[in-house]
């Protein structure tokens, strides 16, 4: 039987008055609305069959056994320099050996000759919406934000993460093996980020850390430009600060109620009359680990004045934080350096303000580094997340040392997100997330030839390469 295309399935289901998620659509029904249930089931079956090869590939990759040795390449270890004519051995999902040409290779290893190529750790994107969006113009394929409320810290992106997204293989083909998945930035506290691996048979396999951080978006300028019809509180910087302050005060009171309950429970001597616990509040409960300093808040602001207000608020409640964006905060960079916190920068495609130099965004990473700030790069995208290494390349051209640019997409984000013992460098004991390319990883002319995730090679196929091969004029 001819396999049913994904687009055909979606079209049939929508015309039938039912969305892929099972919700009624508002489209005017056509004759397809009366298609028998068997046809709809056939479409769903075809969709499942079309996805099955990719899932089977991932599953077989995860269960494959035997060591793999990459021999003869230039190793960019990140943490201990460059090794010419080096060897990397992976076994059991981890790196088991890294060294020069004399490094012992297991007798049963699959040896891949990578002479003349560059070998480096998988790249880490520190903010994307991978798995939360597919087609920007189609609301049914976007699950980035719960827009019903500004304060939604109890939203978990991993509960909406779509492992079968076609954007993940597209991103992976350029050497990105791990990423932070974040909710949209329109709300002040939109939910909690997840840290993923860009390979796996399911969302569960791809998820390395579910609630790794919480974004706090203090992007007041966007709100000031909102239309009157769409405006909602808060629309100003002082409104955002007041909203956040009240939220954290409520969460502190909730923490105190929990502490009082635990104390009463410990002191209670009558098992027949246990103390009554406080009413559970998921919204306030989600803020507790951040108020306790156990997890970082990703504090996003662009303007210097917005940034200072947001930082002072975070300090008021003793929050552990990482700075995000700060793309138009040139006037406070010296003050940023005194905070001694990492800064996530990017993207490289944003325009400077009218009063800024043309190279403001390109030179920002270098200027931060000279001030002693740890720099981390993010694509802030899904469709263009594969361009992450080029952001680092642009920064090198405008003042960031090359080695620091590599660190900013490997070991630095691994340290920021608490993954440095697993990712970010070619070191024995770390996960076998390794990339082999035919040139400099920061150069747009470089092609990635091999990607290993968890010590297993992932085929470099995606929707774009399939379309290229299908329509290539020979």
Interval 74-117: pLDDT, tens: 999 999 999 999 999 999 999 999 999 999 999 999 999 999 99
Look at residue 236 in the predicted model and tell me its pLDDT: 84
Q: Are 45 and 150 part of one and the same domain? A: no
Q: Are 72 and 12 part of one and the same domain? A: no
290 CB-contact burial (10 Å; exposed 0-12 / middle 13-18 / buried 19+) = buried
pLDDT tens-digit profile of 185-217? 888 999 999 999 999 989 999 999 999 999 999
Q: Are 215 and 244 part of one and the same domain? A: yes
Look at residue 318 in the predicted model and tell me its pLDDT: 97
Q: Which of 63, 81, 108 is at the close of a domain?
A: 63
The DSSP code sequence of 84-106 is EEEEEEEETTEEEEEESTT----
Q: Are 180 and 280 part of one and the same domain? A: yes
pLDDT tens-digit profile of 395-439? 999 999 999 999 999 999 999 999 999 999 999 999 999 999 999
Q: Are 42 and 20 part of one and the same domain? A: yes
Q: Residue 142 belongs to a domain with what CATH number?
A: 3.20.20.140
Look at residue 354 in the predicted model and tell me its pLDDT: 85
pLDDT of 367 > 80? The answer is yes
Look at residue 71 in the predicted model and tell me its pLDDT: 97
Look at residue 225 in the predicted model and tell me its pLDDT: 55
Q: Are 38 and 100 part of one and the same domain? A: no
Q: Are 256 and 346 part of one and the same domain? A: yes
pLDDT of 34 > 70? The answer is no
Count each helix (H run) and each strand (E run) in the chain, helices first: 15, 16
Q: Are 196 and 304 part of one and the same domain? A: yes
Q: Average per-residue pLDDT in the chain?
A: 86
Under the banding of pLDDT at 50, 70 and 90, the label for residue 376 is very high
Q: Which of 423, 439, 454 is at the close of a domain?
A: 423
Q: Are 133 and 162 part of one and the same domain? A: yes
Q: Are 227 and 348 part of one and the same domain? A: yes
How many CB atoms are located within 10 Å of the residue 137 CB?
6
Look at residue 32 in the predicted model and tell me its pLDDT: 38
Q: Residue 71 belongs to a domain with what CATH number?
A: 2.30.40.10
**SS3 state at 209:** strand
Look at residue 53 in the predicted model and tell me its pLDDT: 37
Q: Are 107 and 132 part of one and the same domain? A: no
Number of domains in the chain: 3
Q: Which domain holds residue 49?
A: 1-63
Q: Are 250 and 379 part of one and the same domain? A: yes
Question: How far, in Å, CA of 177 to CA of 385, rounded?
Answer: 11
């Amino acid at each position: 039987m001819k396999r049913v295309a994904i687009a055909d399935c979606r079209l049939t289901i929508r015309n039938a008055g039912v969305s892929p998620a099972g919700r009624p659509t508002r489209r005017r029904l056509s004759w397809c609305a009366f298609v028998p249930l068997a046809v709809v089931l056939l479409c769903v079956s075809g969709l499942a069959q079309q996805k099955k090869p990719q899932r089977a590939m991932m599953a077989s990759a995860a269960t494959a056994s035997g060591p793999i040795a990459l021999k003869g390449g230039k190793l960019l270890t990140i943490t201990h320099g460059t090794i010419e004519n080096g060897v990397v051995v992976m076994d059991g999902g981890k790196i088991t050996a890294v060294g020069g040409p004399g490094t012992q290779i297991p007798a049963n290893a699959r040896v891949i000759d990578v002479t003349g190529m560059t070998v480096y750790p998988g790249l880490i994107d520190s903010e994307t919406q991978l798995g939360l969006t597919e087609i920007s113009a189609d609301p049914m394929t976007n699950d980035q934000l719960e827009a019903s409320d500004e304060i939604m810290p109890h939203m978990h992106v991993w509960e909406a993460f779509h492992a079968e997204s076609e954007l993940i293989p597209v991103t992976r083909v350029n050497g990105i093996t791990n990423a932070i998945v974040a909710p949209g930035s329109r709300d002040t506290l939109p939910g909690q980020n997840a840290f993923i691996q860009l390979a796996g048979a399911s969302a569960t396999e791809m998820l390395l850390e579910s609630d790794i951080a919480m974004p706090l978006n203090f992007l007041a300028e966007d709100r000031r430009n909102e239309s009157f019809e769409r405006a909602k509180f808060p629309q100003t910087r002082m409104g955002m600060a007041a909203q956040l302050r009240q939220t954290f005060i409520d969460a502190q009171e909730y923490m105190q109620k929990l502490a009082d309950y635990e104390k009463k429970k410990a002191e209670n001597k009558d098992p027949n009359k246990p103390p009554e616990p406080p009413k559970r509040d998921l919204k306030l409960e989600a803020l507790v680990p951040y108020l306790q300093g156990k997890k970082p808040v990703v504090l996003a602001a662009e303007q210097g004045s917005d940034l200072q207000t947001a930082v002072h608020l975070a300090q008021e409640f003793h929050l552990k934080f990482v700075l995000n964006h700060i793309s138009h905060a040139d006037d406070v960079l010296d003050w940023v350096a005194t905070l001694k916190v990492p800064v996530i920068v990017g993207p490289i495609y944003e325009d400077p303000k009218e009063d800024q130099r043309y190279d403001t965004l390109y030179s920002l990473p270098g200027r931060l580094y000279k001030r002693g700030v740890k720099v981390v790069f993010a694509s802030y995208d899904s469709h263009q997340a594969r361009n992450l290494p080029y952001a680092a390349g642009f920064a090198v051209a405008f003042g960031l040392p090359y080695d620091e640019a590599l660190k900013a997409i490997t070991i630095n984000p691994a340290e920021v997100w608490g993954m440095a013992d697993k990712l970010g460098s070619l070191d024995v004991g770390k996960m076998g997330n390794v990339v082999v390319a035919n040139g400099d990883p920061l150069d747009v002319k470089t092609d990635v030839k091999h990607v290993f995730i968890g010590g297993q090679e992932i085929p470099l196929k995606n929707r774009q390469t399939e379309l290229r091969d299908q329509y290539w004029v020979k």
